[in-house]
């Protein structure tokens, strides 16, 4: 509701204006009734209103003097409207020159007052829209500066802007808040997941309103992840009399109340200032790569989950080298033996979790380097994502010897695919397969099985060549085929949807609008008219 102050020295005017219309129905509420300009002025010193309706001729202080004093002292941004008779028109002209919005002739009619309120309401909506658009632009510019910093491509201007616009006290962390998608669904709707991601973003901002500009939409090191970035600083916990763990447990609990999907929070390395945030961001990728080798949980901390080998903990170097050599040679039996030997050596420390964490982390990071040595075009972050995807095994306990055995055997096959440099010839075969079977249930997984290539690596080389995911490529191909049928046949839209591989016609129409900018029916009509 917009708040209104009415100022008039005649009691019957004050009473009459209260009942002449339904103020609430028009979106207004009467906040104050004053009998002279001086009382109104004193009220404005401690209260905010959106509209002032004032008589011109009043004792103590006139309406015109009230208007001029408000402007001189910058007391209020409220719209100002004068109540006037015909003899006061010269005063009205002077008032308008002093930013008076409008005037209403006495006796006030219901129609004139309603029209005025709707004018004020529309102006307020326009003002709010301008402010909202400005806020969005400011948030987007802040986010672009933050992205430059966390990606490690920044200058002093980026750092200075962020320092001036965020509340940064104490150490900082980059925090990744992601929707759990560990169980891959082949026909998962990217559009719906994107909607959920935006809902997560808005929920985070609502929970931490005072730090809402610390959240960044979609800054993942993983292109297919649905997440929200968060710049955490230590005073967020301390001013709530909490430690970091308590703060994030509180935050996660509140998120889980309003968000329908399971979530995971990964807290990167604590760094001293904003210019070091890229290190914290990179450490989140490291957490992501090893989380599958631990029991699943919702909250990870770099210092807790990436052990650094303090306290005399040593690497099982010989056993690790044996594992790496067996994986390089793609020898399944040798891999099983090497992994068993590694676990036997680690268990000599009575299964100390720090020993297991340290050695598995070392192995995983060595495997990343192995992949990049096989193919220079492979991005390390893509390998980290592959490791993250493959390190989850629902049928085998995470972190167990059998879990690592299966992962190592699959990774050996992955490396073998890199050695063959399949990207040179396989994509032409994939293109032919899409042309022939695009209307069927086709996916990276079954293509990988058909052509004996790791599906994750196939996804990488596909994105490199076409600058889009396989799923987007297939969608565009299907929509292009649909446009041909729309132009060359009289088939109904639902039949065309089925012909190009969509069982759900509504989903087909949505995808068509995304790529063509209009519905299939409108597309057909436009081209028929031409």
* Percent of the chain whose pLDDT exceeds 70: 84
Alpha carbon of 204 to those of 140, 209, 252, 330, 402: distances in Å? 17, 8, 9, 45, 38
| CA 256/CA 467 separation, integer angstroms | 35
Mean pLDDT of 341-359: 75
Least confident of 48-52, 352-356, 418-422, 459-463: 418-422
Strands 263-267 and 172-179: antiparallel
- Whether 308 has a pLDDT exceeding 50, the answer reads no
Residue 94: other Cβ atoms inside 10 A:
12
Banded pLDDT at 292 (limits 50, 70, 90): low
Give dist(CA 237, CA 481) in Å, integer: 55
Share of the chain above pLDDT 90, in %: 40
Q: State the Cα–Cα distance between residues 390 and 32, nearest whole angstrom.
A: 66
Q: Report d(CA 460, CA 176) in Å as an integer.
A: 23
What is the spatial distance between Cα 461 and Cα 411, in angstroms, rounded to a whole number?
Answer: 17
CA atoms within 13 A of residue 291's CA, in its CB half-sphere: 24
pLDDT of residue 193: 82
**Predicted local confidence at residue 413, as pLDDT:** 82
Per-residue model confidence (pLDDT) at position 359: 82
User: Does residue 390 carry a pLDDT above 80?
Assistant: no
Torsion of CA 139, 143, 146, 151, to 10 degrees: 180
Give the C-alpha separation, 76 to 47, whole Å.
9
The stretch 68-97 carries a mean pLDDT of 80
- How do strand 2-7 and strand 51-55 relate by DSSP bridges? parallel
Report the relative pairing of strands 28-34 and 2-7 from DSSP bridges.
Answer: parallel
What does the pLDDT read at residue 386? 65
Q: Is the peptide bond before 124 cis (omega within 30 degrees of 0)?
A: no
What pLDDT score does 492 carry?
Answer: 92
Tokens of 233: 């600083």
**Bigger pLDDT: 443 or 142?**
142
Report domain 2-108's class. alpha beta
The CATH superfamily assigned to 428-443+456-529 is Homeodomain-like (1.10.10.60)
Domains 141-305 and 428-443+456-529 share a fold: no
Which residue in 459, 465, 502 sits closest to 482, CA to CA? Answer: 502
- The confidence band for 203, taking pLDDT boundaries of 50, 70 and 90, is very high
Domain boundaries, the chain: 2-108, 141-305, 317-419, 428-443+456-529
Nearest alpha-carbon partner for 463 in 491, 482, 444, 449: 444
Query: pLDDT tens digits for 468-511?
Result: 888 888 999 999 999 999 999 999 999 999 999 998 898 899 88
Q: How many CB atoms lie within 10 A of CB 512?
A: 27
Mean pLDDT of the chain: 84
Considering 82-96, 188-202, 391-405, the range whose residues carry the highest mean pLDDT is: 188-202
- For residue 309, the model assigns a pLDDT of 45
- Among 37-46, 322-331, 352-361, which is the least confidently predicted range? 352-361
> Residue 397: how many CA atoms within 13 Å on its side-chain side?
3
Instruction: Give the model's confidence band at 314: pLDDT under 50 very low, under 70 low, under 90 confident, else very high.
Output: low
pTM of the prediction?
0.57
Tokens 């058909």, residue located:
450
Token duo for residue 249: 């447990």
pLDDT value of position 452? 67
Fold of the domain built from segment(s) 141-305: Alpha-Beta Plaits (3.30.70)
């Amino acid at each position: 509701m917009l708040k209104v102050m009415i100022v008039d020295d005649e009691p019957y005017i004050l009473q009459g204006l209260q009942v002449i219309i339904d103020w609430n129905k028009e979106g207004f509420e009467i906040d104050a009734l004053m009998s002279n300009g001086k009382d109104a002025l004193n009220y404005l010193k401690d209260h905010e209103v959106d509209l002032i309706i004032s008589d011109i001729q009043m004792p103590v202080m006139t309406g015109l003097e009230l208007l001029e004093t408000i402007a001189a002292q910058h007391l209020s941004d409220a719209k100002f409207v004068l109540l006037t008779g015909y003899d006061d028109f010269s005063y009205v002209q002077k008032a308008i020159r002093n930013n008076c919005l409008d005037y209403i002739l006495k006796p006030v009619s219901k129609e004139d007052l309603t029209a005025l309120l709707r004018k004020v309401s529309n102006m307020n909506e326009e003002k709010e829209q301008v402010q909202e658009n400005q806020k969005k632009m400011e948030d987007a510019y802040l986010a672009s500066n933050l992205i430059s910093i966390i990606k490690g491509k920044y200058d002093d201007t980026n750092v200075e802007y962020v320092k001036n616009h965020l509340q940064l006290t104490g150490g900082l962390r980059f925090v990744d808040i992601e929707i759990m998608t560990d169980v891959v669904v082949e026909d998962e709707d990217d559009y719906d997941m994107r909607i959920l991601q935006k809902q997560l973003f808005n929920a985070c901002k609502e929970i931490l309103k005072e730090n809402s500009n610390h959240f960044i939409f979609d800054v993942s090191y993983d292109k297919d992840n649905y997440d929200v970035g968060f710049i955490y600083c230590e005073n967020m916990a301390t001013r709530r009399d909490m430690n970091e763990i308590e703060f994030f447990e509180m935050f996660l609990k509140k998120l889980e109340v309003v968000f329908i999907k399971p979530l995971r929070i990964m807290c990167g390395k604590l760094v001293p200032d904003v210019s070091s945030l890229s290190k914290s961001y990179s450490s989140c990728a490291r957490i992501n790569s090893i989380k599958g080798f631990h029991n699943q949980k919702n909250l990870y901390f770099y210092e807790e989950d990436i052990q650094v080998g303090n306290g005399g903990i040593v690497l099982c170097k010989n056993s690790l080298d044996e594992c790496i050599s067996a994986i390089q040679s793609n020898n399944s039996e040798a891999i099983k033996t090497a992994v068993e030997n590694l676990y036997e050596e680690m268990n000599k420390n009575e299964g100390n979790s720090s020993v297991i964490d340290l050695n598995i982390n070392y192995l995983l990071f060595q495997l990343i380097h192995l992949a990049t040595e096989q193919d220079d075009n492979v991005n390390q972050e893509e390998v980290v994502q592959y490791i993250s995807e493959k390190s989850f095994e629902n049928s085998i306990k995470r972190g167990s010897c059998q879990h690592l055995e299966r992962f190592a055997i699959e990774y050996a096959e992955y490396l073998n695919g890199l050695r063959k440099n399949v990207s040179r010839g396989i994509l032409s075969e994939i293109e032919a397969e899409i042309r022939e079977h695009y209307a069927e249930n086709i996916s990276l997984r079954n293509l990988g099985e058909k052509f004996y290539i790791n599906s994750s690596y196939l996804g990488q080389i596909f994105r490199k060549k076409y600058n889009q995911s396989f799923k987007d490529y297939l969608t565009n191909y299907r929509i292009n085929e649909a446009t041909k049928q729309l132009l060359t046949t009289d088939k109904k839209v639902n039949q065309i949807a089925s012909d190009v591989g969509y069982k759900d016609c509504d989903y087909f129409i949505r995808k068509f609008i995304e790529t063509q900018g209009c519905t299939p029916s409108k597309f057909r009509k436009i081209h028929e008219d031409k």
